[in-house]
Chain A
């Protein structure tokens, strides 16, 4: 009896020891984990590149949808008429359907904000130097701020949630447009502070060719300030007013803004790049990659003339007649398109994140609104001359500014937003009586459905 008990005890003890030696914390073979990012030096690079891939992949939808809402062009898709009905007609009263095609461009931005947060977290526990860590945070938060900007400009007065919380099932509340913009500026400013603290180190990731000239912390800081100035100018035209325009001017001084003497000067900036390699992506805003995106004829009729009587050089560079008119679908709800975009020469031409031409126009806008008209005219006329080949202006109004922005920034995601912030949505051309110009993109129904507290946009 005693023997058996002892044997059982010994046996049980042996078993317990055997059991404890088996480690149950097995890895995930099929996917990289967020947790594993920091442990592998290559992980940080992959995460940083992930932010850039997402930035690029999200950009197509942003630029195209703003082009459709702002009547820069149409998306005529043969087997689906919803690119006409959902964007140009909506569900009545100028509203768009919260489940339709036009209510997209939502998840991608927030997902990329989380990518930025994941990178910041991984950087914190990585083996990077203190300065490199600061540079990496500056990189991540610049894109986080930019993604917030994309999300907010589409939803505008509906507001957006602005925090990415540690526990993903916790919902960050929607905040008003003004609060959201303030938060965007703060995120961009924290990135600025990090980039400044980084000193002269390189951004500790290999950045693609679209970042040529912006790969060190000081140069990346100039990019950051460019984005900051764009956001501040938006705010200047909205609730924040002149305070923000003044701050925009300050931001611009730290940006890569430069007086232009050539198109190359105007085009200096940061870009998304494309490639036809397997696994890479093509520039779907290019006609070569996607012939469905066509231009609005009003570009031609509204273009100013150069002193020699020919059209604004920007029109000639960016818009060309279609070989044959392209019918819309549904045909009765659309008019045939006659113009094509030639903004992008090939299906691998880079798209703009931000460039000098826009910075000059931001400075012109800020000066114009702050009453520094001569300074504003300097920048406007520089853009007119170098980009459009047009004669200088002697005086300037907001409409003059909007003309330059319209032709300088074709397909760069501006026209609809500009028209809205200056109260000029009514000036956008409508082709048919049934057409409307949407004021905001609705919050997607999928978001509204799961919100514990329904925001006003739901």
Chain B
């Protein structure tokens, strides 16, 4: 039926007769900025209804040939409102004076592999983050730069280690077992956002790779090269990325050269990171320290006595000592761009050296990018781009572990009374006698000095776009385009724990068999994709509509190969993994291939007021059980703009979008595999894998309705955008527990349905517009969304995934997926009034009730002030960091008065006793609401007179910025930060367990343009 409609539309369009040409003449003019009269370079001037256009030069001038008769000219420039002007047959010139586009009404939004639509016609909620918004305040990674700016997304950093590591979750969870991150696309190239497992777990005894605190590869992308980020939320992207679009798509467009002379920009930034919140720890008296449960070993008692010898209050501020570093972070950026009508170029180089708040923690990203746009003759244009990146990080050691090696873990069980951070006369750190004794503890100062955790990434991303104008007349325009590219990286990991580190010594958990260890590994990835599209735009002379028909083919491959050598039992002076006492190797490969086809029809009609669009995409993938089966993902859209109908409402747009998208299975899921059972008599045996592959596995399928209403009010001083979505995820992958008597244990099958609903509101307000030279734009967003599991097919029981990212069992609260409950429900042990304990009781929701973002931009003369504030309401956190300190009788607020002395003598004891060995999970579940000052910037454009006075520089412009990120957290949360998550990126985030403490940063930037 859908196909029939598309066909019928195409036929109707074809039936409209083409009209004849007329004679031509030349039109010239100038485009300037309204307030200042400054010439506007690189603006486009087109003739409406004709495939004719020109760009302005440095002086804002344009020149073009138009057909005879009256014409309607349209001038557009990025960041400015469009302007139309009627040029009678008698006239040969038209000047434009452009107003700033404060409300972001202009621009286009992506609708297909090779098509866009005017943002004012867009049928989906669009989110754009501009270069200026991204780079105003330097950020550890792109996620951080996007925080507070994307309505409908929850963006969180996993902890405060330098180098990134964060999660973007768009419109809530859309999968339980499948991919949960959005797809990232840079100039048409799908890029990897993988996290490499470093193997640190082997050395620290933590439970899984998520706790290793690796960085996801988005950290490699240099925000300064980005011109624009567009966030496509779910089904809006279905026609472009089909089976990878369920989690949304982040479309990144890099900066390109503009027509004009060579333009050089240089930026120098200097900044510093600083521990944002310090918790401290309990202040002990001698008696309290002697009685502390963590000091009961002989060495512990001796340690207490030594600490108090001649010093009645030997408190040590460990967190300040370890995480109190304020070494400078430095970034240098150089950009060169320019070009002519036929050749445009952009080159940039960036070196950013970020220092962490703990010693030996840092991140460095060096990147070079080029973009080249070339016109070859009248029909062919080509664009090439490429980036080479090196990204290096040292992120220390944090989160959960089983050897008390993670600093906050060790500090929780260490009365802060000994100067553990001070080396003795031989240059060695003392052993920590607490947390049970020498054999069960660590000295984090020693660990951070000598434990090595390096990640070194070399990455190349290249893209090419070729466009061929196949046919063109006054009514028809046919373009063929090719977009292709590759992302290739190698991620080298090196972990080293010396044999004499306290938690590696003989008799410790980690040093039981072998002391010390090295993990040397490398993960490489290669993602390639290419797309061929044909786009035919038909505009009848009557101009009652413009119909764009497109079709294309897309091929996408991704390969990964990860291998590592783990050496246990280090040999003196040897730093290699091989050559150690016990060496094991590991390898993991993946190879995924996707082939897709699509057709799309997009019609803009009724004086550009109505948009109707339909598309269908078919996909085959090597990861599906049936690799030859074509899975189709349809989409339909409609929007209608009502203009000047109601007083004060200049435009009202109603929009609806209905689409399907997918989430494809993991590589290898379709195979029924064997597993290595070990040796017998020197021979290897293979046996049935306990997890049964699924030869019938297929993509998860999301069906999304999205409705919205956008309005521009009061002479475009106020803009409202409201969106409601309702998505249903069918064929959800769930874990089927099989009868063990079948000879297999579990199987992942398509057997569930989930529903997400949400509301996104945005209000942009321009209270002051050139009022005594003052401009003020305020934007507020509000987002609320929930995801609930509706049903499992018969036979599927509620399940947990068993990874630490989903929580630590009922005692501390864990995720458990059950029909009728939100996916982010935290389940735990509930103790009723009679003391009866019920496990697996739903207790709280990890998902925030709602989130708000507030941004304010002020401009007064040469001064500017910008702020971004992020507010999260609700969202429960399992505050395990607090539980560790309470268990260690060592919490910062341990000695505060107890609410009920029958339960515990002090506040800390009260909390720990109410938890009752995990029988009352609620004791450590805490509200994670916060207000964060994400960004604050004061900028000053140096006056031209001053710039000109900078002798010998020949500079054209200069700007000074003072900025801060994450300046303040206002939150009642009793911990470092409720945003962290022990297991890294996961379906729902709620585990705060000994994180690397988050930091705030300050920067001074100087930008000079030449």
User: Which residues of chain A have a CB within 8 Å of any CB of chain B?
Assistant: 1, 3-4, 7-8, 11-12, 15-16, 18-19, 22, 24-35, 37, 43, 45-54, 56-57, 106-107, 110-115, 117-118, 160-161, 164-165, 168-172, 206, 208-210, 272-273, 275, 277, 279-281, 444, 446-447, 449-452
Contact = CB atoms under 8 A, between A and B. Distances in A.
A31 B478 contact: no
Interface of B: 18, 470-471, 476, 478, 480, 532, 534, 536, 551-553, 555, 587-593, 595, 597, 620-622, 627-628, 668, 671-675, 677-690, 692-693, 736-745, 747, 749, 795, 797
A226 to B, nearest CB: 20
Given A22-B555, A107-B740, A110-B742, 20 more contacts: A8-B536, A12-B553, A29-B589, A32-B673, A34-B673, A43-B686, A46-B684, A106-B741, A114-B743, A115-B743, A117-B743, A168-B747, A170-B742, A208-B681, A208-B683, A272-B680, A275-B680, A277-B682, A447-B740, A450-B795
Interface centre among B587, B686, B738 (most CB of A within 10 A): B686
Contacts of B749: 169
Nearest to A25: B627
A232 B156 CA distance: 66
B680 A208 contact: yes
A44 B744 CA distance: 20
Contact of B680 (A11, A34, A165, A273): A273
A31 B738 contact: no
Given A8-B551, A24-B627, A168-B738, A31 B597 contact: no
B674 to A, nearest CB: 4
A50 to B, nearest CB: 4
A281 B683 CA distance: 12
A366 to B, nearest CB: 31
A26 B669 CA distance: 12
A447 B532 contact: no
B681 A209 contact: yes
Contacts of B679: 53, 275, 277, 279-281
A188 B677 CA distance: 25
29 contacts: A7-B534, A12-B534, A12-B551, A15-B553, A19-B597, A28-B668, A29-B590, A31-B671, A32-B674, A33-B671, A35-B672, A47-B674, A51-B687, A54-B685, A54-B687, A107-B745, A115-B687, A117-B743, A164-B742, A164-B743, A208-B681, A210-B681, A272-B680, A275-B679, A275-B681, A277-B679, A281-B679, A444-B740, A447-B741
Contacts of B741: 106, 110, 160-161, 171-172, 447
A169 B687 contact: no
B470 A46 contact: no
Contacts of B689: 31
Q: Please list the 10 inter-chain residue pairs (A to B) with the smallest Cβ-Cβ separation, ordered nearest first.
A: A208-B681, A114-B743, A50-B685, A53-B685, A31-B673, A49-B685, A29-B589, A24-B627, A15-B553, A107-B740
A447 B737 CA distance: 9
B739 to A, nearest CB: 5
A273 B683 CA distance: 11
Contacts of B18: 1
Contact of A34 (B536, B668, B672): B672
Contacts of A45: 683
Contacts, number: 219
Nearest to A280: B679
Contacts of A3: 470-471
Nearest to A20: B595
A161 B684 CA distance: 29
A49 B627 CA distance: 32
Contacts of A29: 589-591
A26 B672 contact: no
Nearest to A29: B589
A280 B688 CA distance: 18
Contact of B595 (A19, A171, A449): A19
B742 A169 contact: yes
Given A4-B476, A279-B678, A114 B742 contact: yes
Contacts of B693: 33
Contacts of A49: 680, 683-686
Interface centre among B471, B671, B681, B684 (most CB of A within 10 A): B681
Contact of A280 (B588, B628, B680): B680
A312 B524 CA distance: 66
A371 to B, nearest CB: 39
Contact of B739 (A47, A54, A208, A451): A451
B466 to A, nearest CB: 13
Contacts of A7: 470-471, 478, 480, 534
B676 to A, nearest CB: 8
B687 A111 contact: yes
Interface centre among A49, A160, A451 (most CB of B within 10 A): A49
Given A28-B673, A51-B685, A106 B622 contact: no
Contact of A53 (B680, B692, B736): B680
A149 B54 CA distance: 86
A452 B797 CA distance: 12
Contacts of B674: 31-34, 37, 46-47, 50, 118
Given A18-B553, A111-B687, A450 B677 contact: no
B680 A111 contact: no
A4 B589 CA distance: 44
A280 B715 CA distance: 80
Contacts of B688: 34, 111, 114-115, 118
A41 B451 CA distance: 47
Contacts of B470: 3-4, 7
Given A26-B591, A29-B589, A446-B737, A11 B534 contact: yes
Contacts of A34: 672-674, 688
Contacts of B739: 161, 171, 447, 450-451
A153 B587 CA distance: 41
Contact of B744 (A31, A57, A111): A111
Interface centre among A12, A45, A172, A209 (most CB of B within 10 A): A12
A7 B587 CA distance: 47
A26 B738 CA distance: 27
B520 to A, nearest CB: 20
Contacts of B597: 15-16, 19
Contact of B740 (A53, A110, A169, A208): A110
A114 to B, nearest CB: 3
Contacts of A33: 671-674, 693
A45 B681 CA distance: 13
Contacts of A272: 680
Nearest to B673: A31
B488 to A, nearest CB: 18
B597 to A, nearest CB: 7
Nearest to B794: A452
Contacts of A280: 678-680, 682
B476 A111 contact: no
Interface centre among B551, B684, B745 (most CB of A within 10 A): B684
A38 to B, nearest CB: 12
A210 B683 CA distance: 13
Given A11-B480, A115-B687, A164-B742, A26 B593 contact: yes
Contact of B686 (A47, A209, A210): A47
A265 to B, nearest CB: 24
A19 B593 CA distance: 11
A105 B287 CA distance: 52
Contact of A169 (B478, B595, B736): B736
Given A273-B681, A275-B679, A30 B589 contact: yes
A168 B690 CA distance: 11
Nearest to B560: A29
Contact of B685 (A52, A114, A171): A52
Nearest to B551: A12
A19 B677 contact: no
A359 B85 CA distance: 106
A373 to B, nearest CB: 42
Contacts of A46: 674, 684-686
